[in-house]
Amino acid sequence: MSVFAYISLGMGTSVILLAYLLSPDAKLSLTLLPMVLLLGGIPMLMNVMNRRHVDRMDLRHVKLGKIKDLAKKAIGEQVRISGTVTAVSQQWLNRPNFQVVDPSGEIGVYMFVAPRDKIKGGDQIEVVGTLRWSFGFKKKNKKIWGLQMEKIPALS
């Protein structure tokens, strides 16, 4: 669940506790209880459904390529790259963004579902996803909408 979902759940629970403390009426608490269950249950359910959808996808046919070659590919095309994570942001939203670099270039990866592994800067990863437009302040760039990301074990 994202930080926003936890905050909403905490606020909903606090409202119910406060309402019960001000007026100890069990009927009111039983009326408000489904609200808290929905605030906590819907984000968890959506995450489970998204992960199941992605896990069922067969992406083995997508060939590994280099970041510089993505400029020639069409928007919506499935791609696979491997590289080093240089930056991670928005993990608290449960839709993290990664900057990935390989010897040929750098690209942003916006994950549809948070990876199972804890990925941080410096990790070697392989990601599969589709190319999308990303609109920046100066120009529009291609970005990968990531479907699967795995950490590549370091060679010892």
What lies within 8 Å, CB to CB, of 128 at 6+ separation is 59, 62, 78, 79, 80, 146, 147, 148, 149
pLDDT at residue number 156: 54
For residues 113-123, average pLDDT: 86
Does pTM top 0.75 for this prediction? no
pLDDT at residue number 137: 59
pLDDT at residue number 104: 92
Q: Give per-residue pLDDT as tens, 74-89.
A: 998 999 999 999 998 8
pLDDT at residue number 10: 83
Answer whether 1's CB lies under 8 Å from 95's CB. no
For residues 139-149, average pLDDT: 83
Strands 97-102 and 78-89, bridge-based pairing: antiparallel
Q: Give per-residue pLDDT as tens, 91-112.
A: 766 778 899 999 999 999 998 8
The domain ranges of the chain are 3-56, 64-151
Q: Give per-residue pLDDT as tens, 2-14.
A: 677 778 778 878 8
Instruction: Kindly give the interhelix angle for 3-22 and 26-56, rounded to the nearest 10 degrees.
Output: 170
In words, the CATH class of domain 64-151 is mainly beta
Coarse DSSP helix, strand, coil percentages of the chain, rounded to the nearest 5 percent: 40, 35, 30
- Token pair listed for 147: 């479907």
For residues 28 and 14, what is the distance between their CA atoms, to the nearest angstrom? 14
